[in-house]
Amino acid sequence: MSAISELELNGNQIVLDDALAKQMHAWGHRLKGYMDGNQLVIVPAGEMLDPRYPLISRYQDVLNGEPVISGTRVTVRAIVEYDRLYHDPERTWRAMPHLIRAQIAEALNYYGAHRDEIDAYIAANACAYDDGARGQ
């Protein structure tokens, strides 16, 4: 969802306009929500990888199923690589201001618990980059 939409609360129901309802329906029946300050952000749920890290998901049609920040195309790998570059989560957040600090923290925590998996994605990405640079 790229634009902020106003929702109407009608009794116990949230009423969506037609365009937003169609977009959310296209995501499927599973959604995730998290708070960004005072705003509720709703994103496609994707596949939960580890219940300790609900903001990290896998979508088979996004980046070949690599773990990402839920509802985005930002990989855990990218967050880890920014963290290695900057050595400071605040600087990583400033490089990716469309994310919230909690998403970055959760990606780094996910990496701590799944280091081998993410390191394999980092190595594969480095090989692909090197192959591309050599024209292969």
Furthest CA-CA distance within the chain = 61
Q: Which residues pair with 10 in a beta bridge?
A: 13
* Enclosing domain of residue 33: 8-133
How high is the pLDDT of residue 89? Answer: 85
Are the beta carbons of 63 and 75 closer than 8 angstroms?
Answer: yes
The whole model's pTM is what? 0.71
Spatial distance between the Cα atoms of 45 and 48, rounded to a whole number of angstroms: 8
The reply to whether 79 falls in a domain is yes
Total number of domains constituting the chain: 1
How high is the pLDDT of residue 2? Answer: 45
The reply to whether 47 falls in a domain is yes
Spatial distance between the Cα atoms of 44 and 30, rounded to a whole number of angstroms: 6
Quote the tokens at residue 82: 């920014």
Residue 80's nearest CA partner among 123, 134, 122 is: 122
How high is the pLDDT of residue 25? Answer: 66
Quote the tokens at residue 12: 């116990």
Q: Which residues pair with 36 in a beta bridge?
A: 39
How high is the pLDDT of residue 71? Answer: 83
Domain containing residue 30: CATH number? 1.10.10.10
The reply to whether 85 falls in a domain is yes
The reply to whether 3 falls in a domain is no
The reply to whether 94 falls in a domain is yes
DSSP state of 102: H
Spell out the per-residue pLDDT of the chain, length 136, in tens: 345 556 666 777 777 777 777 776 666 666 777 676 776 777 776 788 898 998 899 988 888 899 999 888 899 999 999 999 999 988 999 999 989 899 999 999 999 999 999 999 999 988 877 777 677 6
The reply to whether 1 falls in a domain is no
How high is the pLDDT of residue 7? Answer: 64
